[in-house]
A and B are shown apart, each in its own frame.
Chain A
Amino acid sequence: MAFTTRKTYRWQTTIVVVIFLFVLILCYWFLFIGQQAWLSTWVGAVGVAPDNVATYAKAVSWLVGIAVFLVSAYVLGKVPKWLQLLVTYLELLMLLVLFMTTFNIDMDFILRKLPFLITQGAFTTLYVTVVSIALAFCLALVTAIARRSSNGVAEGIATFYISLFRGLPLLLQIFILYLGLPQLGFVIKPIPVGIIALALCYGAYMSEVIRAGIQAVPLGQWEAALALGLQRRQVMRRIVLPQALKIIIPPVGNHFISMLKDSSLVSVVGVWELTYLSSTLGNRDFKNLEMLITAAGVYWVITITLEVVQRRIEHRFDSARTR
């Protein structure tokens, strides 16, 4: 028993703690939202000069806020871990929301613009990201295999490509492709240019991820398959790649999420995606912050969805082949 920190809890404890935390959340709420009203009157009544009331009220609210946080951290030490996690999430989320409310944002404006922001902006962002990541993955796979090839030309092309596209800023690549391709006689619309640039750049990065995955498969797997008479191509496809794929799910998910936000860079060539739309809509009515926060929220929601999907895929790979 002495070796484990895991404790047993009674359900009554949980209920008491949940009630306590409810009160706690109310505390936060009053401290930050209500600080203008009752906290100021209270601070004023103590005899603070009217000029300083606002500052004092703010200081008091922060101090009490920190105290409440510390008390909650102490209480959380006494509950099961899942509850600690949940409450910590809630508290941090609340603080974030409270921080946002200090901007005095115009909710009506946000609600009016949100549908268009999602149907045009978020849709374009997702569309560009999904197509780019699919292309990038195929490109990365071919490049990773070419890098291990015994053929010098294949390896040369692969390493040159990786070096070039990892070595230039993505923003520059987008500009160069957009301005350069017409010189070669290809006049391409902004969205395809954006997709090509993202796919090329991320293909270079992900090929290294896939190469790492391939190298992580033990050499013995190659030997066993070759000894059975399989060709190298068959070993790669049937034995090595399936195992490498499982290893690279987390880093590929990482790149997917990263690309979701880097896709905002294609706005420079005039693609109406989420960031571009939010800044133009905001500019028009001088409500920049409203639109930027909304775009941030939409990005975050999409990212959370992707994280859940990634966890699902990982879980499926894990349970199918108990390892």
Chain B
Amino acid sequence: MNHLEYAIDIRNLNKWFSGLHALKDINVQVAEKEKIVICGPSGSGKSTLIRCINGMEEHQEGTITVTGIELKDMQTLYQIRQNTGMVFQSFNLFPHMTALENCTLAPTLVRGMKRKQAEELAMEYISRVNIADQAHKYPAQLSGGQQQRVAIARALCMQPRIMLFDEPTSSLDPEMVKEVLDTMVKLAESGMTMICVTHEMGFAKQVGDRVLFMDNGSIVESGKPEQMFDNPRTDRLQLFLSQILHS
């Protein structure tokens, strides 16, 4: 099997947190331009899995190959991080920099871009997430939804081939969830390879090519979103769906 066919190729991945078996024999292959949605109860390992992909967490067994680069040392780690963007639940914008500076930091430092060029690039992505008029504000002056959109623009400024979303809407007020999801849908339509940990079923159905349902460190069920949500095969998924729909 040629690794280059896949954007992400995860084989026999195992991870322990000091005795706790967090990920058990995970095998996932993600094609170029594919959109994967990962869902599951809290503590099921979905965040851990997505964080292993760009080396935010270290795995103990198995291989992770991202855009043809196998993650094995510091050098490949930095290469992979330059090719993948990540968006966090808690935004994690740099509070001492304006939205624009947040976006130009990595292109200038990591890609060695000229400041002016980086600002042009950043403004392009900032406009694309619809906050051009807020570009010179500090994160504390922005709403949660705006902050998360800046975070998306910041990740896109590195022009990654893959975007990882770790519960991007979970800490947002309800009325701000939509503006962030709309941004993500637009990004999906542009052909980006995406992996999203989220519980937004509407989003999963709209853009997801495949849903992975995780429980207790393993992928319990996977398939097309409609089939998964309308006709769950496993009891565990049925229970999970009934819980999130009735709460």
Nearest residue, chain A, Cβ from B55: A226
Contacts of A228 in B (CB 8 A): 81, 85, 105-106, 110, 154-155, 158
Using a Cβ–Cβ cut-off of 8 Å, how many residues does chain B contribute to the interface with A?
26
Residues 83-112 of B contacting A (Cβ, < 8 Å): 84-86, 88, 90, 92-96, 105-106, 109-110
- Is A47 among interface residues, defined by CB-CB distance under 8 A? no
Q: Contact string, B47-84, partner A, CB cutoff 8 A, digits 1/0?
A: 00000001010000000000000000000001001101
Within B123-173, the residues touching A (CB, 8 Å) are 138, 140-141, 151, 154-155, 158
Q: Enumerate chain B residues within 8 angstroms of A221, measured Cβ to Cβ.
A: 92, 94
For residue B197, give the distance in angstroms from its CB to the closest CB of chain A. Answer: 14
**Which residues in window 102-143 of A have CB below 8 A to B?**
none
Contacts of A238 in B (CB 8 A): 105, 109
If the complex has contacts A238-B109, A243-B96, are A227 and B138 also in contact, measured as CB distance less than 8 A? no
Q: Are B95 and A224 in contact (CB under 8 A)?
A: no
Q: B81 to A227, Cβ gap below 8 A?
A: yes
Contact A227 B54 (CB under 8 A): yes
Size category of the A interface is 20 to 34
Enumerate chain B residues within 8 angstroms of A246, measured Cβ to Cβ: 96
Contact with B along A311-323 (1 / 0, CB 8 A): 0000000000111
**Interface: A83 (CB within 8 A):** no
* A-B pairs under 8 A by CB, number: 66
Contacts of B84 in A (CB 8 A): 227
The answer to whether B158 and A229 have CB atoms under 8 Å apart is yes
Q: Shortest CB–CB separation between residue B126 and chain A, in angstroms?
A: 16
Residue from the set B81, B90, B95, B141 with the largest chain A CB neighbour count within 10 Å: B95
Q: Is the CB of B81 within 8 A of A220?
A: no
CB <8 Å contact, A227 and B86: yes
13 inter-chain pairs at a CB distance below 8 angstroms, sorted by A residue, are A220-B92, A221-B94, A224-B86, A224-B93, A225-B106, A226-B56, A227-B85, A228-B154, A229-B81, A238-B105, A243-B96, A322-B141, A323-B140
- Listed in ascending order, the chain B residues whose CB lies under 8 Å from chain A are 54, 56, 78, 81-82, 84-86, 88, 90, 92-96, 105-106, 109-110, 138, 140-141, 151, 154-155, 158
Task: Name A residues whose Cβ lies closer than 8 Å to a Cβ of B.
Answer: 218, 220-221, 223-231, 234, 238-239, 242-243, 246, 321-323
In the A-B complex, the 3 residue pairs with the smallest Cβ-Cβ separation, listed nearest first, are: A224-B92, A228-B106, A220-B92
* Known interface pairs A231-B78, A234-B109, A323-B138; 12 further A-B residue pairs with C-beta atoms within 8 A, sorted by A's residue number: A223-B86, A223-B88, A224-B88, A224-B92, A225-B94, A225-B105, A229-B78, A229-B106, A229-B158, A230-B110, A238-B105, A243-B94
